[in-house]
Amino acid sequence: MTIASDFSIHTTTKVISYIGAAHGVSGAGYYTVLELHRWLQALAADAGATGDDYMDISRVTPSDKQFDTIITLVNGYTIDAAASEHLYSGSIIQAGGDTIFDGMQVIAGAGAHIQVIQIGAVLSNDFWNSVPYGTGVKGLNPDAANGIACRFMLKVRDSAADIDGRRLLLQTREFGYSYTEFKLNGTSRGINVAALTYASDLNNQTASGTVAGWSDVANLTAGYNGLDVNADSTLEYYYSKWDRGSRSINQFYERMKYLTRRGETTTLYGLAGHLFRGITHEVAVTTPRTSTIAEGVAASWSGGTGQVLARDSAGTATKVWIQLLTGIAPTAGQTITVGGGSVTAASGTPSTERALSFPFCGVSTGSAIIGAYGFALETADLSVNDKLFDLTNTLRNPPNLVTFTVSGLVVSEDYLLVGPGNSGALVENQFTLNGALTGASVTSVVVTGSIPADTPATGTIRIKRANGAFSRHPYSAWTGSTFTITSHDFSSNNAANGNNAFISYIDTLAGATTASFQATYVTDRELFVRRRDGGATPTKTFETAATLGVAGGSVAVQRLSDA
């Protein structure tokens, strides 16, 4: 086929139309904007019009060439939508500049499926992803030798107005492949190059149908929330708190990709998954506030729109975090309408643009996640190799939580005590009391010095009483030098100031054949293990030294009959 047989010029309207075979059909034709110009100029030089082409030497000039990639249709000549889909490698300007089609050139792996987002929505007519007849590979006008996946034109100006400032977002979100995006903040005349990655993701090889069933993965807090990721007793703040359920960290990563893959309509923060990108801007706000600020709702201001993903307070917010959808981010002093109310961007404080990750959760190493800005999982789902970045964009590393396990227990017969050790003996003076315990309802125990960082978050302590015995006390939390214990009556048989106390890391009658505790690894800690069985089949006391190391630790108890 030739351009002469694929295009026609209307006799009275001067509309240049494509009349050739459709996308994906044998014979479909595609031509550069320069080829269109050359054809029009050749027709304009003819002595008389022929066929369906309204053009000859007696007609006004149809087109002008500024550069080989910028063609202006003049004197009322225009192309229609179908014609624009069969032209590439440049721009077409028509209607005195009131309508513009700009050229797109996507650098990506062959066969990449390219999504284009315009005015905050994915363009449904993605003709550039058509499969040319006989090739078996999607992508119009590719140039594989130069790494070009497709070339096409898009309308960026209509009725004398730029469409969203000629802003476009191109992205790849094929499950099993890398996710990338390329933002054009305003297309230029000629060829606009967008570089995208389309390569197999080695950490995303599970079938999508399998990942679809991983519904136990959930966002427990979709919005501003505090977490102590690095276990320093100080909260950091994030815009999510995901629970990975029964999934590994890499399976969690795959689920995040599934929820934001091409065509996914499940909503995240009020946005369809295939549009969700994460926080793009942090905006400082000030009074007046005409209502509380909600999360997961639309926001607008003069010159742009977005979605609120987090705010640091519902009623007295000083910051909001948004995903920009259209236009530009709020500027200083602008009024931002959120739901039924509004806030004001802080004067003199421009919006801070935040870097995005693709997918929105961050990167998987296969065994750990390198999180995106503001993205978090609940702390119980993190390991020492994970890295998160809070809303101040500060790196937070989870502590190394390790587990110590004692095995070989007999249920309901063995009583197990694991405490601090030294040279194979139990250390009873790990702490001394900083203040006597004499009240009827004591709920806190203060010790001299700081409680070690490798103390389990919850557990039990033993405290020496007036009668010389060490009583057992569950604690629900600790900070600094204070344990928060279950209320206990110390009004008799009290505990004097300076009495010994120690952590009983495991202190229980066996309820299973194994018992364990989890703690943050700081440095190797010697432990003392004691097991006694005075039940129906008594055994001799078992005692041994053990170590809580960088990988945790374990002990298998031995049993010698004492019958």
Q: What is the C-alpha to C-alpha distance for residues 482 and 480, in angstroms, rounded to an integer?
A: 6
If you search the block for the tokens 């201001």, which residue do you land on? Answer: 301
CA dihedral sign, ordered 192, 271, 212, 223? positive
Would you place residue 139 in the very low, low, confident or very high pLDDT band (cuts 50, 70, 90)? Answer: very high
DSSP 148: E
pLDDT of residue 356 exceeding 80, the answer is yes
* Predicted confidence (pLDDT) per residue in 368-410, tens digit: 999 999 999 999 899 999 999 999 999 999 988 899 999 999 9
Mean pLDDT of the chain: 94
Helix (H) or strand (E) holding 258: helix 249-259
User: Which DSSP state fits 270?
Assistant: T
Residue 89 corresponds to which amino acid? S
Cβ proximity of 454 and 439 under 8 Å = no
Q: Is the pTM of this model over 0.85?
A: no
DSSP assignment of 236-251 equals EEES--EE-TTS-HHH
* Cα angle: 335, vertex 339, 345; to 5 degrees: 25
On the question of pLDDT at 157 being above 70, the answer is yes
Query: Is 70 exceeded by the pLDDT of residue 49?
Result: no
CB 115 within 8 A of CB 172: yes
Strand-pair partners of 531: 416, 542
Secondary-structure percent of the chain, ordered helix, strand, coil, rounded to 5? 10, 40, 50
**What tokens appear for 471 in the block?**
């009583």
**Bigger pLDDT: 347 or 375?**
375
Question: What distances in angstroms separate CA 121 from CA 184, 196, 272, 275, one per listed residue?
Answer: 15, 19, 10, 7
Backbone torsion region of residue 401, taken as left when φ is above 0, otherwise alpha when ψ lies between -120 and 50, otherwise beta:
beta
Report which secondary-structure segment, H or E, holds 181. strand 180-184
Q: Is the pLDDT of residue 159 over 80?
A: yes
User: Which H or E run contains 253?
Assistant: helix 249-259
Instruction: Name residue, tokens 């006799």.
Output: 11
The mean per-residue pLDDT over the stretch 72-78 comes to 97
Confidence check: pLDDT of 251 > 80 = yes
Q: Name residues whose C-beta falls within 8 Å of residue 448's C-beta, 6 or more positions apart in sequence.
A: 431, 432, 433, 434, 481
Q: How far is residue 128 from each of residues 88, 106, 114, measured CA to CA in Å? A: 10, 10, 8
In the prediction, which pLDDT does 344 show? Answer: 86
Share of the chain above pLDDT 70, in %: 98
For residues 474 and 492, give the distance between their C-alpha atoms in angstroms, rounded to a whole number.
19
* Cβ count near 497 (within 10 Å): 13
Does residue 291 surpass a pLDDT of 90?
Answer: no
pLDDT at 286: 87
Ramachandran bin of 170, using left for φ above 0, alpha for ψ from -120 to 50, beta for the remaining angles = beta
Q: What is the mean pLDDT of residues 1-10?
A: 92
| DSSP string covering 438-480 | --SSEEEEEBSSPPPTTS-SSEEEEEE-TTS-EEEEEEEEEET
